[in-house]
Amino acid sequence: MKRGGFIYLAVAPWLVDELSKVHIQATYLPITSIDIHNLGTVDSQQEKDIDFLRSVPFKRFDFYGGDNIVKLARRWQNYQFLIICPDLTEIPSDFIEQMPKNILVSPKVEGIKMPELYQRSKFFIRYTQHDGISLSVLEALYFNLEVLWT
């Protein structure tokens, strides 16, 4: 601001490229501890068979917006949702029975397998009443997902 302009920072190299297409010169600044070597490369040819991806702790399902995801799934029945409950190794059957048919609920996924799920997904949702910078949002952006984030 002191130099009469703004400095635009982007958390992923591809965001710098995207912003340049609309004449915004951004600087890549990784502001997280994610390691691109652990995440691997982005495969833009990967089939996208998951419309919406979200990780929601089972024990705090409503607090982290899981109830909102269920409402969206009921409204958008032609779309496939994947909810990962990272605090469970097995999903209770009564919980699954409450879900709309277009929601698949998964227990904890090993970190090494998450890149595949990001790459199979079109959108990442982080829909809560309260939020700060989220590692999962940054990872989703790294994999070029459209992010719906409060």
- Dump pLDDT digits (tens) for 116-133: 999 999 999 998 876 666
pLDDT band at 15 (very low <50, low <70, confident <90, very high): confident
Class of domain 36-149: alpha beta
- pTM for the full predicted model: 0.77
Instruction: Kindly report, residue by residue over 32-79, the tens digit of the pLDDT.
Output: 667 777 788 888 888 999 999 999 999 989 988 999 999 999 999 999
Average pLDDT of the residues in 82-92: 96
* Mean pLDDT, the chain, integer: 88
Q: How far is CA 66 from CA 3, 17, 59, 63, in A?
A: 44, 33, 11, 7
**111-112-117 Cα angle (round to 5):** 80
- The domain locations on the chain are 1-31, 36-149
How many other β-carbons are positioned within 10 Å of the β-carbon of residue 55?
A: 25
